Structure 1
Amino acid sequence: GRVPFRAEHQAGILEPPQARAQLAAFDLADGVGREGLRTLLRRWTAAAERLTAGEPAEEFDNQVALDAGPSSLTVTLGFGATLFDKAGLADRRPAALEPLPAFPGEALDPARGEGDLFVQIGADDALVAVHALRVLQRLAAGTAALRWQSAGFARTPGAAARPVTARNLMGQVDGTNNPKPSEDGFAAKVFCQAGGDQPGWLAGGSYLVFRRIRMLLDHWEELPVDRQERVIGRRKSDGSPLNAPAGSGEGTPVDLSAQGADGALAIPSDAHVRVAAPASNGGAAMLRRGFSYHDGLLPDGSPDAGLLFLAFQADPRKGFTPVQRKLSRGDGLSRFLRHEASGLYAVPPGPPTGGYLGQQLLEG
């Protein structure tokens, strides 16, 4: 299918995750400045608009994906905090783009995170996603260099008889409690509103937190399924919360006060769904849109695999940061996870009519 490139919000936020993703960050070359950035964003926009329509880019298209169609391709752009000084835009950097605080237990590799410009590319055909990244990379030559790149995957649309919530590499249904566009207050949780301390150029945009989270799968898979379920707070079979009967389904409301026959909490005190729940975090919520990754084996023979965590929110200071602070202290799942890279990006709104991505920042 084809996802429209031009809309109020950038594509690749509200759409379900595609089967394949290419995530990448670029750093501006020395001396590029505002004009060089404007030229790059114009060229990236022109290419992305054609590629998402299933047409070849006008420049640097190697025709690798010539007959693949749009394949639900989306290209989503974000700005890292370091971009603003380099491009002479320091006075336009949002206050909420301050660096994320350090969290207990993380060991972040700066070479695999951060960056001046971030691009999330999603498509249902792996070749289409790789081709789009290749075009953007070639268009950036001399202006911005690739800093890091990660490939991810999610459930393939149409592969199952009915649509189902994706599972992560731990086998758990992942994304059940995501805020839904039909819910009251959804836009205020996910998208920046005009006013307050948010800059006007970011109205209709969002903030994206990226985390590369390696899963200690060898340790996790040693746990019996019932122990895994208590760590998460949901059944592995159907995602139903432990406060409800088996088979009730992942949509059954989570009841954090429910008790089992023995009088103990049905959902343990350190279960992931309890610690991460909006009710436990002053209503903090994010729209998660992650992809799994599996990059072979580490030197010790364990899998280099896990989650490319992506979460869109109106303000990371009220979304990701308080939730992660709590998770890093009291989440039973955290002992099976290692946060290895991180990024925070301001995601501008959709391009203005006839304009380019990021135009509101550069010319607003």
Structure 2
Amino acid sequence: MSKRTEQAAGPRTAGPETTGATPATPQTSLELSRRRLLGTVGAAGAAGLVVGGAGAAIGVSATEPEQDAAKSVTTIGSTEVAFRPARARHQAGITTPLQATGHLVAFDLAPGAGRKEAAALLRRWSRTAEELMAGRAPAADTGVALDAGPSSLTVTFGFGHSFFGRTGLTARRPVQLDPLPDFSADALDPKRSNGDLWVQIGADDALVAFHALRALQKDAADSARLRWQMNGFNRTPGATARPMTARNLMGQLDGTNNPKPSDKDFDERIFVGRDAGQEWMRGGSYAVVRRIRMLLDDWEKRSRHEQERVIGRRKDDGAPLTGGSETTPMRLDATGPDGLPVIPSNAHARIAAPESNQGAAMLRRPFSFHDGYREDGAPDAGLLFVCWQADPLRAFTQVQRKLDRGDALSPFLRHEASGLFAVPPAAEPGGYVGRPLLEG
């Protein structure tokens, strides 16, 4: 497997990017408590660590389940992800195996705040994120996550289109950040879309994730104001007997055909290269964020056979309707006795496949959400879709345009919020995320 990405093969208990929890001598009692191993006792269960997606192509795994290392129940809290990875330029939270809980948050710079204030904020945020990801409590800590280890915490920072105007850096705004086009299925709430700054938080413990959210929100102080926040979840590591693809809220296996770090063109597809024209973004990526509500009441009225034809895969094991196992390539040219395609022409898996989109691919890494019930009693639930790519126009936009023209899954989805963010590379030693842009 490629060593170009941090933690690409799943959490480890030692290594330059992911370290175990053999604690060093603590400097404070808070640090000692924060780094302590979980006291959970029980059989060691393997983690089902996966990623998926919907709406802009349901599903598919960033890691390779058959190669993922098992994570025992007693080590969940002790797993640490490096804020400054030794062998990767990109930030944590992109190829890191998907965590059990997450928060997506956008901020706008406060009135009067500009480049200087933004640099000071990113410096504070980077310092806090590095401490928290290492399992250490920052100054004036709330104590929310006492007794928990790092729990695979990741904090990822990005810049929205409007950030560059607010900081006087319009000339350095990448063309890849041009606003996404309108799609026919969009019913977007502008108050829950876009933003100057974007933060993604993920962890295998909900209190650890909340702790990070609260610390970063306090760090914003008078420099930035919360624009929107979305909370999500995934399967808890250890919930399955072996590493396997997770299911989304529709009950479908959601994680089969993602680009994998072992692919020879993975970096080219997902991370910005030298030839992109913006040196400060080299090694970074672009994140598309969509809140996609699933019409679960309508979906659950469909028979299993109907659901499988909408997706193009079997519901029990994720295999394509043309046969085989979950990882068997789809035979898009296969026809049945009636002469019709075995995988319907409007099946989601067919339309979203790279083969149907001139090879366009993105790394999907979402969270599910459930925000209660609507006035009609339907669940306000679905997917916080997050996908990563080197160029959104050639990846997300190309695929979504095709889905927009006839995806059988579209009637069961509502796209309610959207954002596009430039996520720069990881902070260099002694620096902070975004320093080459803000001080270059």
TM-score by length of 1: 0.97
Query: Who is 2:321 aligned against?
Result: 242
Letter in 2 for 1:26: F
Question: Equivalent of 2:370, from 274, 294, 314?
Answer: 294
Letter in 2 for 1:208: A
The count of residues paired between Structure 1 and Structure 2 equals 359
Q: Within the alignment, does 1:230 sit opposite 2:306 as a pair? A: no
Q: For residues 123-202 of structure 1, what are the structure 2 equivalents within 5 Å?
A: 123-196=203-276, 198-202=277-281
The whole-number CA distance in structure 1 between the counterparts of 2:147 and 2:175 is 44
Query: Who is 1:316 aligned against?
Result: 392
Question: Equivalent of 1:2, from 55, 75, 80?
Answer: 80
The whole-number CA distance in structure 2 between the counterparts of 1:206 and 1:111 is 24
Query: Who is 1:221 aligned against?
Result: 300
Query: Who is 1:56 aligned against?
Result: 137
Identical counterparts, % of pairs: 63
The whole-number CA distance in structure 1 between the counterparts of 2:309 and 2:253 is 14
* CA-to-aligned-CA distance 1:182-203 (integer Å, 9 cap, x gap): 012110100000124x411000
Letter in 2 for 1:135: A
The whole-number CA distance in structure 2 between the counterparts of 1:231 and 1:184 is 31
Query: Who is 1:102 aligned against?
Result: 182
Letter in 2 for 1:295: D
* CA-to-aligned-CA distance 1:190-239 (integer Å, 9 cap, x gap): 0000124x411000000000000000000000000010000000011000
Post-superposition offset of 1:264:
1.8
* CA-to-aligned-CA distance 1:120-153 (integer Å, 9 cap, x gap): 0000001110110100000001000111101101
Post-superposition offset of 1:335:
0.5
Post-superposition offset of 1:330:
1.1
Q: For residues 27-66 of structure 1, what are the structure 2 equivalents within 5 Å?
A: 27-58=108-139, 60-66=140-146
Q: CA RMSD in A?
A: 0.9
TM-score by length of 2: 0.81
Letter in 2 for 1:211: R
Post-superposition offset of 1:348:
0.3
The whole-number CA distance in structure 2 between the counterparts of 1:150 and 1:188 is 30
Query: Who is 2:416 aligned against?
Result: 340
Letter in 2 for 1:318: R
Q: Within the alignment, does 1:351 sit opposite 2:351 as a pair? A: no
* CA-to-aligned-CA distance 1:136-174 (integer Å, 9 cap, x gap): 000001000111101101111111110111211001111
User: What secondary structure does 1:311 align onto?
Assistant: strand
The whole-number CA distance in structure 2 between the counterparts of 1:63 and 1:358 is 29
Query: Who is 1:72 aligned against?
Result: 152
User: What secondary structure does 1:195 align onto?
Assistant: helix
Letter in 2 for 1:29: A
Q: Within the alignment, does 1:269 sit opposite 2:345 as a pair? A: yes
The whole-number CA distance in structure 1 between the counterparts of 2:196 and 2:268 is 26
Post-superposition offset of 1:260:
2.3
* CA-to-aligned-CA distance 1:248-292 (integer Å, 9 cap, x gap): 321111111112233321100000011001111111100000110
User: What secondary structure does 2:293 align onto?
Assistant: strand
User: What secondary structure does 1:292 align onto?
Assistant: strand
The whole-number CA distance in structure 1 between the counterparts of 2:146 and 2:167 is 35
User: What secondary structure does 1:241 align onto?
Assistant: coil
Letter in 1 for 2:81: V
Post-superposition offset of 1:113:
1.5
Gaps of 5+ in 2: 1-78
Q: Within the alignment, does 1:113 sit opposite 2:189 as a pair? A: no
Gaps of 5+ in 1: none
Letter in 1 for 2:189: D
Post-superposition offset of 1:363:
2.0
The whole-number CA distance in structure 2 between the counterparts of 1:105 and 1:311 is 18
Post-superposition offset of 1:108:
0.1
User: What secondary structure does 1:31 align onto?
Assistant: coil
Query: Who is 2:172 aligned against?
Result: 92
Q: Within the alignment, does 1:260 sit opposite 2:336 as a pair? A: yes
User: What secondary structure does 1:30 align onto?
Assistant: coil
Query: Who is 1:330 aligned against?
Result: 406
Q: Within the alignment, does 1:25 sit opposite 2:85 as a pair? A: no
Post-superposition offset of 1:175:
2.2
User: What secondary structure does 2:417 align onto?
Assistant: strand
The whole-number CA distance in structure 2 between the counterparts of 1:95 and 1:260 is 45
Letter in 2 for 1:3: V
Structure 1 ranges of 4+ moved more than 3 A: none
Post-superposition offset of 1:27:
0.4
Question: Equivalent of 1:206, from 285, 288, 301?
Answer: 285
Deviates more, 1:353-362 or 1:315-324: 353-362
Query: Who is 1:305 aligned against?
Result: 381
The whole-number CA distance in structure 1 between the counterparts of 2:397 and 2:429 is 34
Question: Equivalent of 2:361, from 285, 289, 294?
Answer: 285
User: What secondary structure does 2:394 align onto?
Assistant: coil
User: What secondary structure does 2:275 align onto?
Assistant: coil
The whole-number CA distance in structure 2 between the counterparts of 1:295 and 1:69 is 28
* CA-to-aligned-CA distance 1:298-323 (integer Å, 9 cap, x gap): 11111100000000000001000011
